[in-house]
Amino acid sequence: NAGVTQTPKFQVLKTGQSMTLQCAQDMNHEYMSWYRQDPGMGLRLIHYSVGAGITDQGEVPNGYNVSRSTTEDFPLRLLSAAPSQTSVYFCASSYEGDGYTFGSGTRLTVV
Amino acid sequence: GNSVTQMEGPVTLSEEAFLTINCTYTATGYPSLFWYVQYPGEGLQLLLKATKADDKGSNKGFEATYRKETTSFHLEKGSVQVSDSAVYFCALKISGYQGAQKLVFGQGTRLTINP
């Protein structure tokens, strides 16, 4: 089925560990974004990309890295996990900028 | 700056009641406006959108009108169902680096419909 696929769905990390959240879309969308969702704060933009090889920071980029080597994939890397990064992470993609399609999310807990 | 303010939740209604969830925004220029819905354990789904002033977006019985004069985009439904229970997010779209289209979200409003 076409859409945005995120893996893993759940993850528990220890403080200081690193990991990569995967995001893939099969709709040939130019734009891809990573958001985090925290209670009472809506969704906040972490990083985004306007195409392969082009990324930029969003509202809350600290502690996260991204790269976009292909149109399909947009992984999010946590370099050294902290409890403040406990959140639900959503990847989204769009072609013309309208009608963003969201993945089902990754629930991350940092202990 | 760009921001979205939503009606505080949670909101609890009885089935067939009238629903309004308020949303106001602050933006430079003329943003597009969206309502997204999130069902438990799922990602966000686009519910409706409006791209210019006085546009009305509608879907599944929900409606919202882009009011430039009051910078508002309130969500309404005439008769809610239990299946409408979800979290609703208002958002605006702004242009960023190299034309990227970024969404700015409100904090979300949790809606519960009782039978």
Q: What are the tens digits of pLDDT across the range A32-48?
A: 999 999 987 789 999 99
pLDDT of residue B2: 86
Distance CA A60, CA A37 (A): 11
Mean pLDDT of B69-95: 94
Please work out, in degrees rounded to the nearest 5, the angle formed at the alpha carbon of residue B63 by the alpha carbons of B12 and B89: 55
Q: B103 falls in which pLDDT band (50, 70, 90)?
A: confident
- Residue A97: pLDDT above 60? no
Do residue B108 and residue A105 have CB atoms under 8 angstroms apart? no
pLDDT mean across residues, chain B: 92
Rounded to a whole number of angstroms, the distance from the CA of B33 to the nearest CA of chain A is 10
Of A40-54, B74-88, B100-114, the range with the highest mean pLDDT is B74-88
pLDDT band at A66 (very low <50, low <70, confident <90, very high): very high
Would you mind telling me the total number of residues written for chain B in this entry? Answer: 115
Across the range B61-70, mean pLDDT stands at 96
Residue A86: its pLDDT value, please? 97
Q: Do residues B29 and B101 touch, judged by C-beta distance below 8 A?
A: no
Q: Which of residues 15-34 of B touch A (CB under 8 A)?
A: 32
Q: Region B73-97: what's the mean pLDDT?
A: 92
> Are B50 and B109 in contact, with CB atoms under 8 Å apart?
no
CA A40 to chain centre: 19
Interface touch A42/B32, C-beta < 8 Å = no
Q: Look at residue B114 and tell me whether its pLDDT is greater than 70.
A: yes
**Straight-line distance from the first to the last Cα atom of chain B, in angstroms, rounded to the nearest whole number:** 41
User: What does the pLDDT read at residue A17?
Assistant: 97
- Record: contact A43-B44, CB cut-off 8 A: yes
Cβ-based interface (< 8 Å): residues of A facing B: 4, 31, 33, 35, 40-45, 48-50, 54, 56, 58, 90, 92, 94, 97-105
The answer to whether the CB atoms of A97 and B101 lie below 8 A apart is: yes
What residues of A are in contact with residue B4 (Cβ under 8 Å)? 42
Burial of B98 (0-12, 13-18, 19+ CB in 10 A): exposed
Task: State chain A's mean pLDDT as an integer.
Answer: 92
**Nearest-CA distance from A78 to chain B in Å?**
21
What SS3 state is found at B97?
Answer: helix
Number of alpha carbons in the 13 Å side-chain half-sphere of residue A30 = 12
Distance of CA B46 to the CA centre of its chain: 9
Q: What is the distance in angstroms between the Cα of B19 and the nearest Cα belonging to chain A?
A: 21
